[in-house]
């Protein structure tokens, strides 16, 4: 009898990007903290005419418990983050009664890449945005070299 080939179970995502808007913090009815946010991850490439192009991927993220609490006061619109987690899907009911499936990342780790917290209220947003790509590259290199992400 021939053995049946079984695919390994692997569901792992690592992505770096910037929050598209302020995160939404809430608690479940049982008091469990949860935060939801969306990040934009940019990819630069050359097209067939050798011109630089940019593609943006928007990805939803959800974090629970202590990880959600650690995001409070540290994340805001445009914050740079490295997220490690797994893909999950869930069904939502829309206002008109239809069912919609959402795929998002359930975060296991979040590394905050901004040098200063959003609560500092400084006017260096433009400088932070311009250095965001190098921060993202540094964070990814640290991750790939197996250094512990900062949570």
> pLDDT (tens digit, 0 to 9) for every residue of the chain, 151 residues total?
667 888 888 999 999 999 999 999 999 999 999 999 999 999 999 999 999 999 999 999 999 999 999 999 899 999 999 999 999 999 999 999 999 999 999 999 999 998 765 554 444 433 344 455 565 566 666 655 655 544 4
CATH of the domain at 17: 2.40.50.140
* Domain contains 2: no
Domain span including residue 34? 13-114
- How many separate domains does the chain show? 1
Residue 36 covered by a domain: yes
Is residue 126 included in any domain, yes or no? Answer: no
Residues 110, 23: Cα–Cα separation, whole Å: 13
Residue position matching structure tokens 């945005």 = 129
Note whether residue 145 is domain-resident.
Answer: no
Burial of 72: CB neighbours in 10 Å, binned 0-12, 13-18, 19+: exposed
Does the pTM of the predicted model rise above 0.75? no
């Amino acid at each position: 009898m021939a053995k049946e080939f079984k695919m390994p179970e692997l569901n792992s995502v690592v992505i770096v990007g910037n929050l598209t808007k302020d995160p939404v913090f809430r608690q479940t009815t049982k008091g469990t903290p949860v935060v939801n946010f969306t990040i934009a991850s940019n990819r630069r490439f050359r097209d067939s005419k050798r011109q630089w192009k940019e593609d943006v991927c928007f990805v939803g993220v959800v974090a629970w418990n202590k990880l959600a609490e650690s995001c409070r006061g540290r994340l805001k619109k445009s914050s740079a983050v490295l997220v490690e987690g797994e893909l999950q899907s869930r069904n939502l009911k829309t206002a008109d009664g239809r069912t919609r499936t959402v795929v998002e990342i359930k975060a296991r780790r979040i590394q905050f890449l901004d040098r200063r917290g959003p609560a500092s209220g400084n006017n260096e947003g433009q400088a932070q945005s311009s250095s965001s790509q190098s921060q993202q590259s540094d964070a990814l290199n640290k991750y790939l070299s197996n250094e512990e992400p900062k949570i």
